[in-house]
Amino acid sequence: MEGAILAIGNELVQGKVRNTTSFWAAQRLFLSGYKIKEIITIPDDLQLIKEHLSLLVKRYPFVIISGGLGPTTDDVTNQALAETLNLPLETNQEVLTQIRAREKDLGLRPNPLRERMAALPKGAQPLTHTKAMAGYLIRYAKCLLFCLPGVPKEFLYLLEEKVIPLLRKHLPPSQAISSLTLKIFGLREADINLELQDLEEENLNIGYYPQLPEIHLTITALGKSEEEAHQRLQEALGKIKALFGEYIFGQNGDTLESVVGKLLSERGETLAVAESCTGGLIASRITRIPGSSSYFDRGVVTYSNQAKIDLLGVSKQCLETHGAVSKATALAMAEGIRRISKTTYSLSVTGIAGPTGGSPRKPVGTVWIGFSCPQGTVAQCFLFPGDRQLVQDFAATTALDWLRRYLTYDTLLPSYKFLRNC
Amino acid sequence: MEGAILAIGNELVQGKVRNTTSFWAAQRLFLSGYKIKEIITIPDDLQLIKEHLSLLVKRYPFVIISGGLGPTTDDVTNQALAETLNLPLETNQEVLTQIRAREKDLGLRPNPLRERMAALPKGAQPLTHTKAMAGYLIRYAKCLLFCLPGVPKEFLYLLEEKVIPLLRKHLPPSQAISSLTLKIFGLREADINLELQDLEEENLNIGYYPQLPEIHLTITALGKSEEEAHQRLQEALGKIKALFGEYIFGQNGDTLESVVGKLLSERGETLAVAESCTGGLIASRITRIPGSSSYFDRGVVTYSNQAKIDLLGVSKQCLETHGAVSKATALAMAEGIRRISKTTYSLSVTGIAGPTGGSPRKPVGTVWIGFSCPQGTVAQCFLFPGDRQLVQDFAATTALDWLRRYLTYDTLLPSYKFLRNC
């Protein structure tokens, strides 16, 4: 089953914004059994949109259009659709009511530009009635046209929740497909690939999507029936899990912080963190998760030495003898935050994120991570690659993954590729 | 001067590889005075390539083609070009000699598939004689066709070193271009647009790129000379700054945290933060900036009430009488963290990020932000829109922007659209 994507926006052809939504859509659709044959990216240009649209609606059973639905005067997608399909633009009362309600909620003055967003080609069916976002389906001859906002978050929500289910209903794919994404931390893409290359065959495809420091693998199985596709997927998953077991931290929508949060909730246990070079990143990731207040008690970002002394009771002597980036300081930070917060566990991080501050003995990327639990307190030294931001991301991810490995496998000192002998 | 990009590759339309080369090309060309009007991304499909090519060569004075030049049987770009332009494929002796020399260097056996890469449409001029990579220029009627390899590194090298210089020579841009991005917080896209719509004219374009909670505006001016374009841009900037002055926090590569960091560094002043519902996000953003240790002393993430008492000296009575989300608590948090860290400034945040925890009097999105400075300590109540993550992003951004406004305009209590009477 083949289709096309028409991505509209001056910013996309001027290289100001990456066309990530088309990339995600092509990927998600491919994994759902739909092949995208053309991705056309053009500016907010009425004539050009009409030319491409009139070709695409003849050629494909479905077309996904993104962008140009906003309130500003450069947004012309609705007009282009109406003129191409020879349909009048009509004010959609439901959409207008939503826009006015939202203006009222937010205490905004009515804005005629915003109301333009309710003028849709006749027959357009809004894709969502519950969320304040543009997006509609319109049928033309044998073609389903999905018009989505260019805003990535809204585009992805509608793609996943509305477009793919509607495609499955109206244009069921010829082969059954079963697919799952595994999330891995601690292995390299090329090493995973080397181990898995014999697993791929005509009906089993593996996609590699590095999201550093994580690697995401999408495994897609085809079959004559749902059962066959499902069975083929499960067999492959069994082999992959046997190979990479503890490196796999989750699947599909999981994040490391959601997995850790779920484990802590289930066990009724609590966590506190003491961060230096990660600067609050671990606490911030943990508290992105709804309900984290039930297991996350507190965090401290002890950037200065004085803060480590004041807030964590690290001794001045320890900092002077061993330095802020040392095993002794990492242990004292983990013990200090756990002692004052009385949580089940604590994590501590102290290191050199760069770009300055490195030395031959402690180069940029050197990070000590400490972990304290009822069994005791331990610390390990790591050397992470990349720039400041990547070192911070690696350190935060490793700390969270360490806790996950302890909660899942009881491993007090898990092994990682980035461990450094200090 | 307008042109098009045709990106070819199965991996691009299956969502396996992002089409980053087209993005970079569009950006580099736009800033060199060339406008890309279409980016067409299609699979290695002979018929489809021919269809698009035959339209593009008629429509544009230049077309950049990428991908499908490799040795494997699925690479059909050369064949598609030859058939579309009605030219024979001829073995290019220079390219063949290069391929054979390279095989010898690497100790490879001659491979007929590799030699296919030398079969180019008649008249093709290789773009490089010194590097081992595919890529050629071919002229057809009034169109310059640049055929580049899809490999990003090779594509970018040829774009920068060969394509842009050749375009400058054969198709000099008709107009000079001058462009700048302004970053705004605290106004809505539609409201900005309403104020600016009369400013736009043929030679002055304004692009709106919402990156919630920020809005980025790109202003692009054209002119007969660099001076004229620059002058036109400066005039527009003057008008926009007069309209939105204090809402503009930076330009081009600036972030709110880099701007705040620069201001604090210049003044030799310091900062500490006490966060509840933002969970470390403010500290994390501040410490993403290299050198932040010179002005950022510490942060605390006091998620539980006990942490607010232990770490900040908020009184139990205050929490019981007013609640954790209150003016009194925000003031006590800001005062507490500034007192213990002895910094010039402090920020505090306490609120309800959701999705649960709201009540009619304090709905989800209610956030108190406190600010403490040598003049005293103040707090304001906000109601932010969106889901948990957006509320957190709005709260962190508002806190940082408040400090920026104080440092820039001496405003102790800046006004924001999201202020709520409590």
Q: In what order do the strands lie in the sheet with B248-251?
A: B204-211, B214-223, B176-185, B248-251
Pairwise CB contact (< 8 Å): B303 & A291? no
pLDDT of residue B288: 97
Q: Which of A11, A117, A298, A391 to mutate to test the interface with B (most CBs of B within 10 A)?
A: A298
Q: How confident is the model at residue A188 (pLDDT cuts 50, 70, 90)?
A: confident
**Contact partners, residue A91, CB within 8 Å, separation at least 6:** A118, A119, A120
Contacts of B277 in chain A (CB under 8 A): 287
Closest chain A CA to residue B291: A356
**Candidates A25, A37, A279; nearest CB to B43:** A37
Q: How confident is the model at residue B317 (pLDDT cuts 50, 70, 90)?
A: very high
pLDDT (tens digit, 9 = 90+) per residue, B189-244? 888 988 998 998 889 988 877 788 999 898 989 999 989 999 999 999 999 999 99
Residue type for position B174: S
For residue A372 the two structure tokens come to 């304290």
A367: three-class secondary structure by DSSP: strand
pLDDT of residue B321: 97
pLDDT of residue A347: 98
pLDDT(A128) > 90: no
Pairwise CB contact (< 8 Å): B311 & A292? no
Closest chain A CA to residue B3: A13
pLDDT(A108) > 80: no
Question: How many contacts (CB atoms, under 8 Å) link A and B?
Answer: 253
pLDDT (tens digit, 9 = 90+) per residue, B61-87? 999 999 998 877 778 999 999 999 999
CA B63, CA A187: separation in Å to the nearest integer?
41
Domain assignments of chain B as residue spans, ordered by start: 2-170, 176-251, 256-409
Smallest Cα–Cα separation from A38: which of A48, A25, A20? Answer: A25
Pairwise CB contact (< 8 Å): B27 & A13? no
Smallest Cα–Cα separation from A133: which of A110, A160, A157? Answer: A157
Strands B35-42 and B2-8: parallel
The total of other beta-carbon atoms located within 10 Å of residue B112's CB is 7
Contacts of B190 in chain A (CB under 8 A): 71-72, 111, 113-114
pLDDT of residue A122: 95
pLDDT of residue A111: 82
pLDDT (tens digit, 9 = 90+) per residue, B163-196? 999 999 999 988 888 889 999 999 988 889 889 9
For residue B3 the two structure tokens come to 């042109």
pLDDT (tens digit, 9 = 90+) per residue, A9-65? 998 998 878 899 999 999 889 888 899 999 999 999 999 999 999 999 999 999 999
Q: Scan for tokens 């060569």, then name that residue.
A: B57
Pairwise CB contact (< 8 Å): B279 & A297? no
**Candidates B16, B286, B303; nearest CB to A298:** B303
Contacts of B284 in chain A (CB under 8 A): 278-281, 283-284
Q: Show the beta-strand stretches assigned E in A315-388.
A: 345-351, 366-373, 376-383
Q: In what order do the strands lie in the sheet with A248-251?
A: A204-211, A214-223, A176-185, A248-251
Burial of A189 (0-12, 13-18, 19+ CB in 10 A): middle
- Cα A408–Cα A414–Cα A420 angle in degrees, nearest 5: 155
Q: How confident is the model at residue A73 (pLDDT cuts 50, 70, 90)?
A: confident
**Candidates B37, B218, B290; nearest CB to A43:** B37
Least confidently predicted of A108-117, B32-41, B246-255, B301-310: A108-117
Nearest CA-CA distance, residue B95 and chain A, Å:
31
Identical fold at A2-170 and A256-409?
no
User: What kind of fold does domain A256-409 have according to CATH?
Assistant: Maf protein (3.90.950)
pLDDT(A216) > 80: yes
Q: Which of A6, A12, A16 to mutate to test the interface with B (most CBs of B within 10 A)?
A: A16
Contacts of A45 in chain B (CB under 8 A): 37
Pairwise CB contact (< 8 Å): B299 & A297? no
pLDDT of residue A335: 98
Tell me the pLDDT of chain B averaged across its residues. Answer: 93
Interface confidence, given as ipTM, is 0.79
**Candidates A13, A16, A207; nearest CB to B209:** A16
pLDDT(B107) > 80: no
The CATH architecture to which A176-251 belongs is 2-Layer Sandwich (3.30)
Query: For A2-170, which CATH superfamily applies?
Result: MoaB/Mog-like domain (3.40.980.10)
Contacts of B193 in chain A (CB under 8 A): 71-73, 113
Q: How confident is the model at residue A210 (pLDDT cuts 50, 70, 90)?
A: confident
Contacts of B286 in chain A (CB under 8 A): 279-280
pLDDT(B52) > 90: yes
Q: How confident is the model at residue A325 (pLDDT cuts 50, 70, 90)?
A: very high
Pairwise CB contact (< 8 Å): B41 & A35? no
pLDDT (tens digit, 9 = 90+) per residue, A336-360? 999 999 999 999 999 999 999 999 9
Q: Scan for tokens 């005062």, then name that residue.
A: B335
Nearest CA-CA distance, residue B92 and chain A, Å:
31
Least confidently predicted of A301-305, B102-106, B195-199, B391-395: B102-106
pLDDT(A209) > 90: no
Pairwise CB contact (< 8 Å): B283 & A279? yes
Pairwise CB contact (< 8 Å): A290 & B388? yes
Closest chain A CA to residue B42: A38
Tell me the pLDDT of chain A averaged across its residues. Answer: 93
Nearest CA-CA distance, residue B388 and chain A, Å:
7
Closest chain B CA to residue A312: B311
Nearest CA-CA distance, residue B93 and chain A, Å:
35
pLDDT (tens digit, 9 = 90+) per residue, B112-149? 778 888 999 999 999 988 777 889 999 999 999 999 99
Contacts of B302 in chain A (CB under 8 A): 298
**Contact partners, residue B314, CB within 8 Å, separation at least 6:** B302, B308, B329, B332, B333, B336
Q: In what order do the strands lie in the sheet with A271-275?
A: A376-383, A366-373, A345-351, A271-275, A296-302, B296-302, B271-275, B345-351, B366-373, B376-383
| Its pTM surpasses 0.90 | no
Q: What is the mean pLDDT of residues B370-393?
A: 96
Residue A27's Cβ-side half-sphere holds a number of Cα atoms within 13 Å equal to 20
Pairwise CB contact (< 8 Å): A48 & B38? yes
Contacts of B304 in chain A (CB under 8 A): 293, 297-298
